[in-house]
Amino acid sequence: MKKISALVSVLFILSGCVSGQEIKELTPQKAFDMVKNESTYIIDIRSVAEYVFVGHPETAHSIPAAFWDEKKQGFETNERFMDDIQSRFGKNDTLIFICRSGGRSRRASA
């Protein structure tokens, strides 16, 4: 079963991908230590523009939770988000989600 985390100023961790589990705090140092493990990955769920122009951790994988829609002038949910996660990572991998302020990564971890 995947262990899922959210990485923000205050970090959260969710062990396992079963909904309804408690999200626990994860310090930046703990996240740094965790990604040293072979089966732990950082998933940057911000928009492509944020990933490219704002910057990202060197080892982060870009899987946006939403895409900018120019016509609507707003974000559209990435309907393939879960499929992308499941196709790239194994069921026993630990995933740490990051975003700008924590809201999106917390939702992704849930």
- Residue-wise pLDDT for 51-63, tens only, equals 988 888 888 999 9
Longest dimension (CA), the chain: 42
97 burial (CB, 10 Å; 0-12 / 13-18 / 19+) is buried
User: What's the pTM?
Assistant: 0.76
pLDDT of residue 87: 94
pLDDT of residue 18: 39
Query: How many structural domains compose the chain?
Result: 1
Contact 95, 41 (CB under 8 A): yes
pLDDT of residue 88: 93
Which segments of the chain does DSSP mark as H helices, in order? 28-34, 48-49, 81-88, 103-109
Whether residue 12 is predicted with pLDDT greater than 80 in this model: the reply is no
In CATH, what number is assigned to the domain containing residue 85? 3.40.250.10
Measure the CA–CA gap between 47 and 52, rounded to whole angstroms.
9
What's the mean pLDDT in 33-58? 88
Measure the CA–CA gap between 24 and 11, rounded to whole angstroms.
8
Provide the residue range defining the domain that includes 72.
3-109
